Amino acid sequence: MISRYSREKMSCIWSNKSKFRIWLEIEAHACDAQAELGVIPKSSADAIWKHGAFAIDRIKAIEADVKHEIIAFLTNLAEQIGPEARFIHQGMTSSDVLDTCLAIQLSRVSDILIEDVNALLVVLERRAFEHKNTIKIGRSHGIHAEPTTFGLTLTSHYAEFQRCRERLINARKEIATCAISGAVGTFANIDPFVEEYVSKAMGLQVEPISTQVIPRDRHAMFFAVLGVIASSVERLATEIRHLQRTEVCEVEEFFSECQKGSSAMPHKRNPVLSENLTGLARLVRMTVNPAMEDVVLWHERDISHSSVERVIAPTATVTLDFALVRLTEVVDKLIVYSANMQLNLNKLGGLIYSQRVMLALTQAGLTRENAYALVQRNAMAVREGKDFYDLVAADKEIRAEISIEQLKELFEINYHTKHVDTIFNRVFGRS
């Protein structure tokens, strides 16, 4: 996580201030529960809410001595609250606070990521409808295949991000649990009621069984989902990069007045935002493997995952948020050159209709192999600069099967767009 690729809205969730505030709330709610159980005096629980505060610098100073962040926090808290502080954290262990806090932080960043995807979906839908009938060539292997529309291209990404949205909602559920179960998860020194109470108060589910720590398969799944979403971001960014290349020039990232594309070449307009998204996707994805390795804690827990999470949790979430917002802007302002789309479509002299001709030949009674051969021999001649329609129209063997009227019909573009509405209806529920 570096500021260049961060939004304050996300990065502040990972700040010390945010973290200590959540710790304080967890401890305070736990005290309320303990007071309700009669384990500690009600007055103490009240004192925590009333006088509870923390000073980040002081915590860091204490931590330098005790080498334990939670103990440093509690010591600082006791300094603020006074004698009543002795009931704080009773029966709890550090992980009860740390892991529940992480669950809250991950829930909050998930909420923003879900908003991000929603915003992206809105933009994708708008632009998909805008270009529902903007004809362009479809490409497989980077080679012209058959016509499609730019709206369909965007719809394909829309459907993918819809799935990402569902995955994100699931991932949020995976990590939104609370554990307050003591040193090895047996509730020896703390009643399960406290866990239930704090879960409810903080909007989390109870972790059914913890072993001091919340099991890390939950987090592995969470980061894996972010990795998949990052890959979907990269797919769309790569599409834009391809379509913007000089020879294709079907779309272009918005380029502001004062922007400079190259320090050396004043004529350049580069798809730098989309390229940047490609890189950001790698950064999100690289967190998946360490998150999976983190699952394998020893016995009731070790602390190997801690340093990993301190880095990957902010990195993956802040970077993905930044990427989703950037992608939304890119799509929102994307310049679409529909005239160029048409020019490119015509580039191969009608070759993109080759399949239709072949199918017509098969329908007329030829074997698939013969039909294929007849079409291919004309197709290859197009490479020498001839027009495919003219070639086919002049091919006696083909014309023996297909009349000129029928042939003209085979080269109709509308043939390729007749099911656009069907697909839009499937994905958007409207067309």
Q: How many residues does the chain have?
A: 431
Going by DSSP bridges, is the β-strand pair 205-206/177-178 parallel, antiparallel, or unpaired?
parallel
Q: ∠ CA 381-382-383 to the nearest 5 degrees?
A: 85
Task: Give the residue with the Cβ less far from a copy of itself, 367 or 406.
Answer: 367
* Among the listed residues 34, 232, 317, 328, the single contact to a copy of itself using CB under 8 A: 232
Q: Is 262 a catalytic residue?
A: yes
Catalytic: which of 262, 304, 307, 431?
262
Task: Give the residue with the Cβ less far from a copy of itself, 146 or 332.
Answer: 146
For residue 137, what is the enclosing H or E element? strand 135-140
Q: Is residue 80 near a copy of itself by the rule CB under 8 A?
A: no
Q: Is residue 416 near a copy of itself by the rule CB under 8 A?
A: yes
Q: Is residue 299 near a copy of itself by the rule CB under 8 A?
A: yes
| Region of 191 on the Ramachandran plot (φ > 0 left; ψ -120 to 50 alpha; else beta) | beta
CB of 178 vs a copy of itself, minimal distance in Å = 13
Task: Give the residue with the Cβ less far from a copy of itself, 104 or 280.
Answer: 280
Q: Is residue 407 near a copy of itself by the rule CB under 8 A?
A: no
For residue 95, what is the enclosing H or E element? helix 94-130
Pairs from 181-186 (Cβ < 8 Å, separation ≥ 24): 181/96, 181/207, 181/210, 181/212, 182/91, 182/92, 182/93, 182/96, 182/212, 183/93, 183/212, 184/211, 184/212, 184/300, 185/209, 185/210, 185/211, 185/212, 185/300
Report residue 243 as tokens: 């379509």
* Among the listed residues 80, 169, 290, 399, the single contact to a copy of itself using CB under 8 A: 290
Asked if 416 and 148 count as a contact pair (C-beta separation under 8 A), the reply is yes
Q: Is residue 390 near a copy of itself by the rule CB under 8 A?
A: no
For residue 6, what is the enclosing H or E element? none
Rounded Cα distance, 113 and 408, in Å:
50
* Ranges within 178-217 binding a copy of itself (CB under 8 A): 182-189, 192, 206, 208-212, 215, 217
Q: Which stretch binds a copy of itself (CB under 8 A): 18-26, 115-123, 274-282, 394-402?
A: 274-282
Q: Is residue 146 near a copy of itself by the rule CB under 8 A?
A: yes
CB of 393 vs a copy of itself, minimal distance in Å = 16
Q: Is residue 21 near a copy of itself by the rule CB under 8 A?
A: no
Q: How many CA atoms lie within 13 A of 8 on its CB side?
A: 0
Report how many residues bind a copy of itself under the rule CB under 8 A. Answer: 167
* Ranges within 333-362 binding a copy of itself (CB under 8 A): 344, 347-348, 351-352, 354-356, 358-359, 362
Rounded Cα distance, 320 and 336, in Å:
26
Asked if 206 and 120 count as a contact pair (C-beta separation under 8 A), the reply is no
Q: Is residue 175 near a copy of itself by the rule CB under 8 A?
A: no
CB of 371 vs a copy of itself, minimal distance in Å = 8
Tell the residue number behind the tokens 């559920």, with chain if given: 173
Task: Give the residue with the Cβ less far from a copy of itself, 42 or 245.
Answer: 245
Q: Is residue 391 near a copy of itself by the rule CB under 8 A?
A: no
Q: Is 144 a catalytic residue?
A: no
Q: Is residue 298 near a copy of itself by the rule CB under 8 A?
A: yes
* Among the listed residues 140, 384, 385, 405, the single contact to a copy of itself using CB under 8 A: 140
Q: Is residue 52 near a copy of itself by the rule CB under 8 A?
A: no
Catalytic: which of 3, 140, 141, 299?
141
Q: Which residues are catalytic?
A: 141, 262
